[in-house]
Amino acid sequence: MCYAHIVPRYNQLDELLVRIHTVRQRPGWRRRLIGASGSVPSLSTLRVLRAVEQREKAGQSASVGEVAEYMAVEHSTASRTVANVVTAGLLTKTQDVEDQRRCVLTLTEAGRQALADVTERRREMVAETVAGWPEADVDKLVDLLEQLVSDFERGISS
């Protein structure tokens, strides 16, 4: 069922989500986010590191295919990006002992530190953005965004 014509606020919500995404893709945001780190040359590098970290947190190993899925890119694109991240010394790539066709990606200590630094900076940027907001409004936004993300994820997986 199409809901957009029923509630015009859905259009506004969609536009706001697009604007948030667009702002976070702009060069100024990228410079503030990764410019100071020096060890993370691009958002693609950051996304690869984050993909591997998420798999590790879930107790799973990461492969190029899983990184491609996380990044929503073709396998060949992820493979080139992963190769650059390995060359930068932020990841290791080893043969999977259980499946010789698969390579396992692991964060190096430098990769963990680079990701931690950029994550801390991103959180500082978010905190700066809402610094003047009442705490109750921030709490409400977090709760609503949690619900929105959950509903998006459920809609995609069904």
Three-class secondary structure assignment of 115-155: HHHHHHHHHHHHHHHCCCCCHHHHHHHHHHHHHHHHHHHHH
Q: What pLDDT is attached to residue 158?
A: 55
The CA-atom distances, in angstroms, between 108 and each of 33, 58, 60, 113, 114 are 21, 18, 16, 9, 10
Other CB atoms closer than 10 Å to residue 10's CB: what's the count? 13
- What is the structure's pLDDT at 2? 63
Q: Which two tokens stand for residue 23?
A: 């702002």
What confidence score (pLDDT) does residue 76 get? 95
Give the residue carrying structure tokens 């010789």: 100
3 state SS of 60: coil
Contacts of 96 (CB under 8 A, 6+ apart): 61, 63, 102, 103, 104
According to the model, what pLDDT value does residue 4 have? 55
Is the domain spanning 9-150 CATH 1.10.10.60? The answer is no
Distance CA 40, CA 120 (A): 13
- pLDDT tens-place values along the chain, 158 residues long: 566 566 778 888 999 999 999 998 898 998 898 887 678 888 899 999 999 999 999 999 999 999 999 999 999 999 999 999 999 999 999 998 888 888 999 999 999 999 999 999 999 999 999 999 999 999 999 999 999 999 998 887 65
Q: Where are the domains of the chain?
A: 9-150
pLDDT at 78: 95
d(CA 32, CA 66): 28
